[in-house]
């Protein structure tokens, strides 16, 4: 009986370790201490318009992409590709998608979800333009 209990416990532990590695999308390194960045609308006037997109090499791990979702809603993403060996993603001309130029992985900018090759979404960050401020603030 005791041998059977130990076998069950061992199987549960082994299953836990095997299960933890599958399907994990925590591929973007954490930023120690957090931070933030402002996108001044004078520098990035495209953020005044719905579907407007701004790109920066500063902030996050590999830079930031900020998207105006319309209706006063904004979202930001880290440019860090979720595909191993990838490069910082670049916004395509349509402003609807971003692509990793090294792996050709593609992401939808309205929600960061992968379209092609990548399995994990871009890492989102909080972005807002409070009370009609002259900047969009990103917290990461």
* Number of domains comprising the chain: 1
pLDDT digits (tens, 9 = 90+) for 57-115: 999 999 999 999 999 999 999 999 999 878 999 999 999 999 999 999 999 999 999 99
pLDDT digits (tens, 9 = 90+) for 20-54: 444 578 788 887 767 899 999 999 999 999 999 99
What CATH number has the domain bearing residue 42? 2.102.10.10
The reply to whether 46 falls in a domain is: yes
Per the structure block, which two tokens stand in for 90? 């670049």
Range of the domain at 131: 35-139
Q: How confident is the model at residue 15 (pLDDT cuts 50, 70, 90)?
A: very low
Write the DSSP string, 70-137: ETTEEEEEE---SSTT----EE-TTSSEEE-TTT--EEETTT--EEES--SPPPEEEEE-GGG-SEEE
């Amino acid at each position: 009986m005791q041998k059977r209990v130990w076998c069950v416990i061992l199987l549960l532990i082994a299953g836990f370790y095997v299960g933890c590695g599958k399907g994990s999308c925590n591929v973007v390194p954490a930023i120690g201490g957090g931070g933030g960045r402002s996108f001044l609308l004078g520098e990035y006037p495209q953020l005044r318009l719905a579907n407007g997109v701004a790109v920066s090499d500063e902030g996050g791990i590999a830079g930031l992409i900020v998207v105006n979702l319309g209706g006063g809603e904004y979202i930001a993403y880290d440019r860090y590709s979720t595909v191993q060996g990838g490069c910082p993603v670049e916004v395509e001309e349509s402003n609807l998608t971003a692509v990793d130029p090294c792996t050709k992985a593609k992401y939808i900018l309205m929600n960061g979800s992968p379209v092609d090759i990548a399995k994990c979404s871009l890492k989102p960050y909080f972005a807002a333009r409070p009370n009609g401020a002259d900047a969009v603030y990103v917290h990461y």
